[in-house]
Amino acid sequence: MALALALLLPAAPATAATATGGPFTPGSAGIGDPQYPTAGNGGYDVRHYDLAVRYQPDTRHLDGHATITATATQSLSRFNLDLMDLTVTGVTVDGRPATWARDGDELVVTPARGLPAGRPFVVAVRYGGVPRTFRIPEIPLESLFMPTADGALVAGEPQSGASWFPVNEHPRDKATYTVAITVPAGLTALSNGIPRGSTTRAGWTTWRWASTSPMASYLSTIAIGRWRLDQHPHDGRQTIIAVDETLPPTLADDAVGRTDEITDYLETLFGPYPFEANGAIVDKHDPLLFALETQTRPIYPAGFFADGPNPFDDGIVAHELAHQWFGDSVSVRYWRDLWLNEGFATYAEWLWGEHDGFMTVREQFNQFYDTPVDDLFWNPPPYDPAADSPFVVSVYQRGAMTLHALRLRIGEAAFWRTMRTWTATYRHGNASTPDFVALAEHESGQDLAAFFAAWLTGAAKPPNPDPLPPGV
């Protein structure tokens, strides 16, 4: 065992103190999230990812070159990056060759010399292979890097960046991105943020994108294919809506076509839209069974719109756009705080539905409240869901009900102050459930510990604060 480990992890000098800031010790293999012990890494903070990838759909092979600018937060003898499956062929740190080893989904990098705490450094990684697709046997469900009929699509939560680049994969380490995606000419490669043009040479086209606001890695995406594109300015930024060219124009276009209108409405509730661009990506890929709030450009599965226009098709659009505030700008500190994303986005979906005349928030609340108490809906409660299946219905619906109950408990003025102070205070940062409880207590002047315990962690059904009037 000791021998195997020694082979796997090139030993750095255990402790090497220097005048410039020792002792140098290894960064940890996880950032410190109890639910996902190896998610992210310790000892450094990434500022920017500059990614160049080339993808050949025929062979499903991806080649990449990642240049990562980071700052050591401790004096590092070595550090980890997260990377799934792909084969590393070269690593440099500050331009000098470094040694590396793989340990499952960890890439362990040992620089030629220690990295002093507080100093920026640049790590460059060359890699390639067939990126990982997550599949469950027998179920037509996929996530991570998904080859599609006309290209590929990346989506996955709580991790997905590591399926296509080496990364510090945890929302606590956000960074800006520049991405260049090279694909066979004729295909279009989309990503997050602002388009920076494309160039074609020798049968390959390179598409360039920039995310100028910090982004958590699971919110990054690339989407390669043939798209019906609607690009237009709105409110001083570009909105880019991409719908799979093979879809009939009547299916998804109407719902995602309301992106600007819904964003404008959400701004009236939650404050300014937090990002440099906006849009949507709708891909026809049957095993894609979820939408994801990929930053500035949410991904929607065509299957969500497959039955033709439905009265609340735009609910999912409101949900993913609300995530731009809740999840993307204000990100979880720990994944156990997931209701801060899903409960808030679901509540925004209800608010949009009421605004647009679909159903009132009160009706939505009561429809769920009436679910029998022994139903899975109520248990497990929303806070700290199981690591292997965090996307349970209570994180969404009971999370949203928690906000509605809070609104009734502390009143309109304190509630909306809480929501807007939340998005402003933690903009482009991270926050946890205790942070939200503290803010709501501060804005309302009330002790809300028992209230939140009942709604977020209690097994029992809390009393209904907003029953429908008799006869409705």
Residue closer to ligand ARG (CB basis): 300 or 426: 300
Of 21, 257, 276, 290, the residue at the interface with ligand ARG (CB under 6 A) is: 290
Stretch that binds ligand ARG, among 277-285, 318-326, 367-375, 455-463 (CB under 6 A): 318-326
Check binding of 384 to Zn ion (CB under 5 A): no
Residues in region 62-91 near ligand ARG by CB under 6 A = none
Residue closer to Zn ion (CB basis): 146 or 338: 338
Question: Which option in Zn ion, ligand ARG, none does residue 143 bind, with CB closer than 5 to 8 A by kind?
Answer: ligand ARG
Q: How far is the CB of 129 from Zn ion (least distance, A)?
A: 31
Q: How far is the CB of 278 from ligand ARG (least distance, A)?
A: 16
Q: How far is the CB of 275 from ligand ARG (least distance, A)?
A: 16
What type of residue is 234? H
* Closest residue to Zn ion, based on beta-carbon distance: 345
Question: Which option in ligand ARG, Zn ion, none does residue 292 bind, with CB closer than 5 to 8 A by kind?
Answer: ligand ARG
Check binding of 345 to Zn ion (CB under 5 A): yes
Q: How far is the CB of 381 from Zn ion (least distance, A)?
A: 18
Check binding of 143 to ligand ARG (CB under 6 A): yes
Cα radius of gyration (the chain): 23
Question: Which option in ligand ARG, Zn ion, none does residue 174 bind, with CB closer than 5 to 8 A by kind?
Answer: none
Check binding of 283 to ligand ARG (CB under 6 A): no
Residue closer to ligand ARG (CB basis): 30 or 390: 390
Residue closer to ligand ARG (CB basis): 108 or 431: 431
Name the burial class of residue 267, with classes exposed (0-12), middle (13-18) and buried (19+) by CB atoms within 10 angstroms of its CB.
Answer: middle
Could you give the CA distance from residue 152 to residue 57 in angstroms, rounded to a whole number? 7
Residue closer to ligand ARG (CB basis): 319 or 398: 319
Check binding of 291 to ligand ARG (CB under 6 A): yes
Q: How far is the CB of 304 from Zn ion (least distance, A)?
A: 13
Check binding of 157 to ligand ARG (CB under 6 A): yes
Stretch that binds ligand ARG, among 272-280, 284-292, 348-356, 437-445 (CB under 6 A): 284-292
Check binding of 342 to Zn ion (CB under 5 A): yes
Of 391, 411, 425, 442, the residue at the interface with ligand ARG (CB under 6 A) is: 391
Stretch that binds ligand ARG, among 228-236, 317-325, 376-384, 450-458 (CB under 6 A): 317-325
Of 107, 125, 266, 292, the residue at the interface with ligand ARG (CB under 6 A) is: 292
Looking at the DSSP bridge assignments, the partners of residue 137 are: none
With the CA atoms of 329, 335, 341 and 344 taken in that order, what torsion angle do they form, in degrees rounded to the nearest 10?
-130
Could you give the CA distance from residue 35 to residue 37 in angstroms, rounded to a whole number? 6
Check if the beta carbon of residue 225 is closer than 8 Å to that of residue 283.
yes
Q: How far is the CB of 328 from ligand ARG (least distance, A)?
A: 10
Q: How far is the CB of 154 from Zn ion (least distance, A)?
A: 17
Could you give the CA distance from residue 241 to residue 463 in angstroms, rounded to a whole number? 43
Check if the beta carbon of residue 227 is closer than 8 Å to that of residue 188.
yes
- Tokens 């103190």 sit on residue: 17
**How far is residue 458 CA from its own chain's centroid?**
28
Residues in region 417-446 near ligand ARG by CB under 6 A = none
- Side by side, the strands of the sheet bearing 96-97 are 96-97, 87-93, 120-129, 61-72, 44-56, 175-184, 204-215, 194-201
Residue closer to ligand ARG (CB basis): 88 or 317: 317
Stretch that binds Zn ion, among 169-177, 335-343, 387-395, 397-405 (CB under 5 A): 335-343
Check binding of 142 to Zn ion (CB under 5 A): no
Residue closer to ligand ARG (CB basis): 339 or 365: 339
Residue closer to Zn ion (CB basis): 166 or 399: 399
**Entry field: residues in the chain:** 472
Could you give the CA distance from residue 357 to residue 350 in angstroms, rounded to a whole number? 10
Of 105, 106, 142, 293, the residue at the interface with ligand ARG (CB under 6 A) is: 293
Question: Which option in ligand ARG, Zn ion, none does residue 290 bind, with CB closer than 5 to 8 A by kind?
Answer: ligand ARG
Q: Which residues bind Zn ion (CB under 5 A)?
A: 342, 345
Residues that bind ligand ARG (CB under 6 A): 143, 156-157, 290-293, 319-320, 323, 391
